[in-house]
Amino acid sequence: MYRYIPATEDDRKEMLGVIGINNVDELFNDIPKDLKQSQPLNIGAPMSEIELKKRIEELGNKNSSDLICFRGAGAYDHYIPAAVDHLISRSEFYTAYTPYQPEISQGTLQCIFEYQTMIANLTGMFASNASMYDGATSAAEGAMVAATVTKRKEIVVSKSVNPETRKVLKTYCKFRDIEVVEVELDEGVTSIKDLKDKISDKTAGVIVQSPNFFGIIEDLDEIRENITDKKTKYIVYTDLVAMGMLKTPGESGADIVVGDAQSFSSGLAYGGPYLGFMAITKELIRKMPGRIVGESVDQDGKRSYVLTLQAREQHIRRYKATSNICSNHALNALAATICMGLLGKVGLEKMAEQCYKKSNYTLSKILETGRYKLKFNRPFFKEFVIEGEESPEIINEKLLKNGILGGYPLEKEYPELKNTSLVCTTEKRSKLEIDSFAKRMGEI
Amino acid sequence: MEKLLYSKNHEWIRKEGSTAFIGITDHAQKSLGEIVYVELPEVDDEFEIEEAFGVIESVKAASDSYMPVSGKIIEINEALEDSPTLLNEDPYGAWIIKIELSDEGELDSLLDLSAYNELCEEDN
C-alpha cells in the first residue's frame, strides 16, 4: 500500500534548502540521542488494504465477546435498552459540542439538564455537574474540591475504595502536594477505629465507597458521625444502580458524591469510555468543576435552557481553577439519561432488587458446592468475596474454557486476600447461567 | 466620603480604632455591573496587604478583591451571601469585611478621595 505522503523527494530537498539544513533529522537535533527511537517501529511490512483488513479481523476474532460475565470490580455488565444506542447515534447528538450558544442547542442543553436532575435525585444531593471522565477522576476531582475549600493538604481514603480509583487519586494529589492517607480494613469495611486515628485537623476530605470495592454496604452514617471536624468534607463514591434500593449518600450527610455511571451508558467495551458523575451540596456548588445547565424562560415566556453556572474560572480565571476539567462525557451522559429515563423509578428499583437477589442466590449456590466460603459476612449489593483452596487464576482459566468470565482475583491488589475472588452477579444473569457457573466452580 | 481611604485596586477602607471596614468603590461596582455572587473569607483568616481575600462575580466578570492593608478578618458581611446586589445599590454602605489592622502604618500608602478620583479619571 502506498503511503499517502504527497511531498516528493525533490519537494523535500527544496524545503530543506529554504531553511538551510541537509536532512530532516537536523530538525530534531535538540532532542538528546538516547531519547530518540534508534530503529524503525516493529509493525511489520506494509500491506494492501485488503490484507490489512483481513489481518485486523483475524486479531479482532481472538477476542471473546460472548462470555457469560460474573466479573465486576468497577465495570459492570448491566442491561442497557437497545433504544439507548439507537438514539445517541443520531448525528445531532453525537456531533454536538459544548452548547455555548443556547439558541441553537436547546436539545443538548435539555439533555444535560435532565441528566443533572436525575443524578442529583439519585444521589440525594443539591446539584450535579454535566459529567466527568470516569469514576476515578471524579473521586480525585472531589478530593481537589475538598482541598481547595478547606485549604488543607491531606485526604483520607478507605482501602475499601476501588484500588484503581485510589491510584488515580494519588496521581492527582502528588502534583498538588496533597498527602493521601489510607484507612485500614476491618472485615471488608472501613475500620472505624483506624479512621478515627487518621482523621485530624489537617484532613480536607474523607473518601469512602459504598457499596465498597468488595460489594459490601458501608455504614455511611457511622462514618459521618466520626468526621467531627465541620470543615472536613465527606466524599462518597457510590453506584447509581444501588440507589434503586439503598439510602442515598445525601441522606447520610455526604458533601460530595462521585462515581461511575458506566452501568447506564456504555456497557462493557474493553476499558471505555466510562462516565464519571459528581453531585454536591448547595454550599459547595461554586467549587464544583464543570458546568451546570439551568431551566429558565425566554422573552416569550417559553421554557428554555441555558448554561447557568459554569465555574467562571474556566474562562476568565483559569490560573485560579480548582480543576483543568473543561470538557465532559456529554454523549455518555446522554446515554445514561436515556437509559435511566427508560428504566424509570420502578425499573431502577427492580434492577437493583434483581442484582441483590441474584448475587445472593449465586453465593448460596457456590457455598452449596462446599469448596468455597464467604470471606466477609456482611450485607452486600451485587458483589461478594469468596475464598477457596485453588488460585482464582486457575479457576478462571477453566471457567473461560466453558465460556464464563469468572470473578476478579483480589490478591494482586490485596496481598492479604490470598485465593479470594470478587464475584459479581447483575440482573442480566439468568438462573440457568448462575446454576451452571456454580456447578463449574464446584468441579474445579 | 471624607473618612475613607482608597486602594489602587478600587477597595475603600474606613478605620475605626484598631479595626476597619473594607468594601468596593462605586467606580468598581459600576465597572463590574450587576453583582451576582460574593465569595467571602472566613473569620480569623489572616491576609497580607494586596492579597486576595474574596471574589466578586458579576454577570460579566469575576474578579478578586484585594486587601488594601494587612489584617485579620473579625467579621464578614453575611447579608451579601443572599443579596450580593447590595454592593451595587450601596457600595459605601455595604462593607464586605471588618478587619483588625496589623500595621496601621500601611494606611499611609493609600489614596485620599481626590487622588482616587484622579485614578478613576485616568481609568476612564
Please answer whether residues A248 and A210 qualify as being in contact, where contact means their C-beta atoms are separated by less than 8 angstroms: no
Give dist(CA A71, CA A66) in Å, integer: 14
3-state class of A126 per DSSP?
A: coil
Please report the pLDDT score of residue A105 as a whole number. 86
Contacting residues of B for A286, CB less than 8 Å apart: 37, 39
Give dist(CA B70, CA B30) in Å, integer: 26
Cβ–Cβ contact A318 with B under 8 A: no
CB contact under 8 A, B62 and A313: yes
The rounded mean pLDDT for chain A is: 93
Give dist(CA A339, CA A228) in Å, integer: 38
Task: List pLDDT tens digits, range B6-57.
Answer: 999 999 999 999 999 999 999 999 999 999 999 999 999 999 999 999 999 8
Q: Tell me the one-letter amino acid at A33.
A: K
**Strand A179-183 to A189-190 pairing:** unpaired
CB contact under 8 A, A316 and B62: yes
CB contact under 8 A, A312 and B57: yes
Give dist(CA A185, CA A195) in Å, integer: 10
> A312: distance to nearest CA of chain B, Å?
7
Cβ–Cβ contact B61 with A under 8 A: yes
pLDDT cut 70: percent of chain A above it: 96
- pLDDT band, very low/low/confident/very high, at A314 (cuts 50, 70, 90): low
Please name the residue that has the C-alpha cell 475605626.
B16
Which residues 6+ apart lie within 8 Å of A176 measured at CB?
A: A144, A147
CA dihedral A124, A129, A133, A135 (to 10 degrees): -20
Cβ–Cβ contact B50 with A under 8 A: no
Longest dimension (CA), chain A: 80
Give dist(CA A439, CA A230) in Å, integer: 52
Contacting residues of B for A312, CB less than 8 Å apart: 57, 61-62
Mean pLDDT over residues A323-344, rounded? Answer: 89
Please give the model's pTM, rounded to 2 decimal places: 0.86
Mean pLDDT over residues B73-80, rounded? Answer: 95
CB contact under 8 A, A317 and B57: no
Mean pLDDT over residues A312-320, rounded? Answer: 65
Please report the pLDDT score of residue B92 as a whole number. 95
- pLDDT band, very low/low/confident/very high, at B1 (cuts 50, 70, 90): very low
- pLDDT band, very low/low/confident/very high, at A308 (cuts 50, 70, 90): confident
Please report the pLDDT score of residue A442 as a whole number. 95
Please report the pLDDT score of residue A336 as a whole number. 97
Please report the pLDDT score of residue A215 as a whole number. 98
Cβ–Cβ contact A202 with B under 8 A: no
Contacting residues of B for A316, CB less than 8 Å apart: 61-62
Name A189's bridge partners. A186
Task: List pLDDT tens digits, range A291-301.
Answer: 899 999 999 99
Task: List pLDDT tens digits, range B90-102.
Answer: 999 999 999 999 9
